[in-house]
Chain A
């Protein structure tokens, strides 16, 4: 079963994303409410995620900074990260894509198609 880690500071976004991915794809979801907790959760060998869905704008350590910190840890550097952003301007999108993340998804997302969007971005067939 796929394990996904969701990192977002907004409670309702985490809740909708987690429950919709469980309901529509049957994936196992863990969540974290900030970048530091997200790094700790990703490094937990018992729940090593297959992918991370992470918000861009978070207080404290934002998504891009958290991603760069993850790249410094060889145990989690290989986990694909999808950034989740409400920024729709092209300049922001190009900046995020240039970080080396696996993809960028947009808020607001459709809870019913979020799993399909993640699978498509990561090339997952199942």
Chain B
């Protein structure tokens, strides 16, 4: 049951983009077309899940037992950078077309705050769902959280890309064209997602 609560909460209530403000840069940059948005979300989902599992294990079995928590930032970002490199190499071999489609966005996932943000959140924050006492996540819960978070990321991105495609065909005042009207649209989306708070 708790897995379900983690899942719903990460996608809707605490949406990584609209509530936690992580992963905004690629969100604003990549979302002009629905097709690139879905491709990017898929890549990010994969990296976030893999990175969360690896950094969780690193933290649990190496950093905490030796009292090295202050090395979290450095070790996590290096793990993420290495993972992204590996994903690039593997993707180039097994699916060159997807690799071409993602282009520059793949290496940029390293600097996506969402990846490092989720990795750190999962090992430092206590979670509580109605009925349970606040507690740190175990590996299974952390993995579900990572998957759900990236699904929430994908959801917000695809919704936004759809809206942007519509906006492009509309009559936007000159000063608002491009980024400003996009931001205002996201603001209204964030307001809509606020309605989910308190359901878990």
The reply to whether chain A is a binding partner of chain B is no
Q: Which residues of B contact A (CB under 8 A)?
A: none
